[in-house]
Each structure stands twice: as structure tokens, then as C-alpha cells.
Structure 1
Amino acid sequence: MRVLVLYAHPVETSFAASLHHRVVEGLTHAGHDIDDCDLYAEGFDPLLSRQERLGYHDIPDNRRTVASHVDRLLAAEALVIVAPVWNFGHPAILKGYFDRVFLPGVSFKMRGGEVVPALTHIRKLSVVTTYGGSRFRVLLVGDPPRKLAGRVLRALIRPGAAFRYHALYNMNRADAPSRHRFLDRVGRAMETF
């Protein structure tokens, strides 16, 4: 299966980098064809320009400035997102990716004023993430990243597609053994993806 891995973290020595490595390693071990998109390393520009916003609904011209990323998304059969949660949201570069690449005519179509999913070729979605706070604290604010993945992204892909959300909560207090267990759990999940 062709898997697009979206990775968003600026520090190559971070725990997120270890998770990213483990994800790619596990998927490769399972025999998948990996398109590894490291948004920071590739210098992805997350800023939606004035012109892009004005032409947002002009299909297919709306994809001109991000054509290579659109092509990669459209070629994927599965999507794995590896990114931390900062301030109860994704890193800005990942949010910018969604704003600039998940366009009308790419991730959804408008029919009679209704949004219709357009990424139905994506059969699996998985998110690997860390939260600085506890699960309880995250629940108090509604866990926006989980809702984005479980409600919004799932609504844009194939109905009934497999979905997994792997989260390590309390990262600020996580000791080495708990981080290692999470890495192992993520690695096993990717080997059976």
C-alpha cells in the first residue's frame, strides 16, 4: 500500500523524531511503499497567501502553488500523521498543510452546497502524537486534535476506512520506560498497518 507519512517537528533529536523514525521503519518492514513528507525538512510554506485564498474555489487552478503536495496526497492509499500537540493543536506547519493542500477538488467537492469527500482512495488513517498534559486536562478542553482526525479527516476519506489514534499523554512527565513502551506500541502498530 502507498502510505503518505506527514511528519511535523522542527527538531531532529526530539521524541517526535524517534516516533517518526519508528513509524517509517515499521511501515517499511511491513512492505508498504512510503512517501515520507517531513514538512520542516522540505521547507513547506504553511502560509495561505491572499491570492490562494481568493482563488480557493477555482478548481483546478487552486492547486497550482502546492501541486507537488496535492499529487502526493492523491497518490496515497493511506495516511499516517506524526506530530506533537502544542497548545491543544497541531504545529502551525501541519495546520498550514491542511489549509493549503486539503483544497476544494482535492480533499472535498461541493455539490449543491454540501461537502462531499474526495479522498476516498485513502483506505487507512493513523495519527501518532504526544500531548504535554494529562488525558484529563486534554478532555477538559475537548481534545481538538483527536476531533480533527476522528471527525474531519475521517469524513474526507473512504467511508469505514480503518482509523487509529496513538497518543502519549503527559509527555512532560513521561519517563524513559513509558516513552520506550509507546515507541514499541507504535512500531508494532505500523508493522501490522
Structure 2
Amino acid sequence: MKHERILIINGHPDPQSFNEAIANAYTDALEAHNVEFRYLPLHRLNFDPNLRYGFRDTLQPEPDLLAAIDDLKWCSHLVWIHPIWWYGFPALMKGFIDRAFLPGITFHLNADGSVSGHLEGRSARIIATGDTPQNLYTETYAESARIQLQNGVLAYCGVSPIAYTYLHPVYASTPEIRQEWLDQVKQLALDDAGLGAG
């Protein structure tokens, strides 16, 4: 499927991380083919990641957060890049979701208790990095980070379909392996843009 408006969200707090290299590989591939995209590295945003009042009171969104919400509304395809820490994702990324994915913005609770997702019509791709072997992550930890983001956030808000790629183990990887991963990411970008064979 071809996507003309792609939003890439980097959830890693370190601009020198391998996740940044992954984001650069993805955006470079799109840029080389004049695909319309926006890049949202969360470490550049100025916002309070703490939903300090829960849903009891409203915490007014900061300008950077308002711009990010506009990006969510603008895109037709979401790409999330994040590391897996403690079988979840970084606090910065969790805080972004807590502050941006709110009732009335990304979903609506109906009177009968059902949910209407405001992100319907959008698809997503998750690219996660970690050190846990695939079999252990799947069998012992039930792909916890994937379930949280894919089912608990994106699908809940109406996003479908959602593709998933897990790159591992990062800690023990060689420069050659990392380059293979970056080449793979470039191909995923072309596939998402409708320019690849996938």
C-alpha cells in the first residue's frame, strides 16, 4: 500500500543512539524518492511528559505537543522507532503518549462504553530494538512492549494494519550487522511508500 504522508516518531531520548541511525536510514530512503514525510524525534520536544493530574483535570498542551498532535492528524502512516527497556519503552515515549493520545484527540469514549478511534484510516509500522533474543521475548515476556504500543495504543485509537520489526541483539551487534539492519530499514521505508517489492 502506498502512503503519501508518513510520520516517523523516534522514541529514544538520546540523539546519538542507534535508533537515530535507524530513523535517518528510513527518512533518507523517503527523501531520495521525494516521499512526503515528517520526522518527530521526541528528544527535541519541550513538554512535560508527566500527566500529573491524570484525567481529573486538564494539563494544557505545550506548543511542541500541539504541533506533534497536528502531525498525528496530518499523516496517513505512522512509523514508531524505539528501544525496549525493561520490556516496555522509554519514559519519554510513554510520557508523549500519555500527553498526546487523549480523549477527544485520538479516541472517543462512547456512551455505551465502546471506543471510537480518531486515527482510523491510518496504518503503522513499529521498529523496535533490544537485546533479548526473539524466543525469550516472545515466550517469556509475551512481546510486552509490542502489545502495549500495538494493541493498547495504536489499535485502540483505530490504527490498522500495524507491521512490526524487532532488531536484536543490539548490544552484541557488529558494525556489519548494524549496516544490514539499516539497509533493511531503507527497504521497509520504500515498501511503506509503495516503491518496494514488499
TM-score between the two structures when normalised by the length of structure 2? 0.83
Question: How far 1:25 sits from its partner (Å)?
Answer: 1.1
Describe the shift of the 1:87–1:157 C-alpha distance in structure 2 as closer, same or farther (beyond 3 A): same
* Conserved 8 A contact 2:81-2:128: yes
Aligned twin of 1:97 = 96
Q: How does 1:153-164 map to 2 (within 5 A)?
A: 153-158=154-159, 161-164=160-163
Give the 3-state SS of the residue equivalent to 1:192 in structure 2.
Answer: helix
Q: Which moved more, 1:62-71 or 1:168-177?
A: 62-71
Question: How far 1:5 sits from its partner (Å)?
Answer: 1.2
* Conserved 8 A contact 1:30-1:192: no
User: Hey, what's the Cα distance between the residues in 2 that align with 1:129 and 1:44?
Assistant: 24
User: Hey, what's the Cα distance between the residues in 2 that align with 1:175 and 1:64?
Assistant: 41
Aligned twin of 2:38 = 35
Question: How far 1:77 sits from its partner (Å)?
Answer: 1.2
Aligned twin of 1:113 = 113
Encode CA deviations 1:93-127: one digit per residue, 9 max, x unaligned. Answer: 111111111111111111121112111142x2011
Give the 3-state SS of the residue equivalent to 1:170 in structure 2.
Answer: coil
Question: How far 1:63 sits from its partner (Å)?
Answer: 6.3
Unmatched 5+ stretches in structure 2: 193-198
User: Hey, what's the Cα distance between the residues in 2 that align with 1:75 and 1:99?
Assistant: 20
* Conserved 8 A contact 2:12-2:93: no
* Conserved 8 A contact 1:63-1:70: no
Describe the shift of the 1:107–1:155 C-alpha distance in structure 2 as closer, same or farther (beyond 3 A): same
Encode CA deviations 1:14-55: one digit per residue, 9 max, x unaligned. Answer: 2111101011112223432222111112234311122x6323
Give the 3-state SS of the residue equivalent to 2:44 in structure 1.
Answer: coil
Aligned twin of 2:24 = 21
Aligned twin of 2:82 = 83
Aligned twin of 1:54 = 56
Give the 3-state SS of the residue equivalent to 2:43 in structure 1.
Answer: coil
Aligned twin of 1:177 = 176
User: Hey, what's the Cα distance between the residues in 2 that align with 1:55 and 1:68?
Assistant: 22
User: Hey, what's the Cα distance between the residues in 2 that align with 1:103 and 1:22?
Assistant: 31
Q: Residue type of the partner of 2:190?
A: E
User: Hey, what's the Cα distance between the residues in 2 that align with 1:147 and 1:132?
Assistant: 18
Structure 1 residue ranges (4+ consecutive) displaced by more than 3 angstroms after TM superposition = 62-66
* Conserved 8 A contact 2:13-2:90: no
Aligned twin of 1:59 = none
User: Hey, what's the Cα distance between the residues in 1 that align with 2:101 and 2:181?
Assistant: 30
| Residue 6 of structure 2 is aligned to residue 7 of structure 1 | no
Give the length in aligned residue pairs.
184
Cα RMSD, aligned residues only: 2.0
Q: Residue type of the partner of 1:145?
A: A
Q: Residue type of the partner of 2:57?
A: G
Unmatched 5+ stretches in structure 1: 57-61
Question: How far 1:186 sits from its partner (Å)?
Answer: 0.8
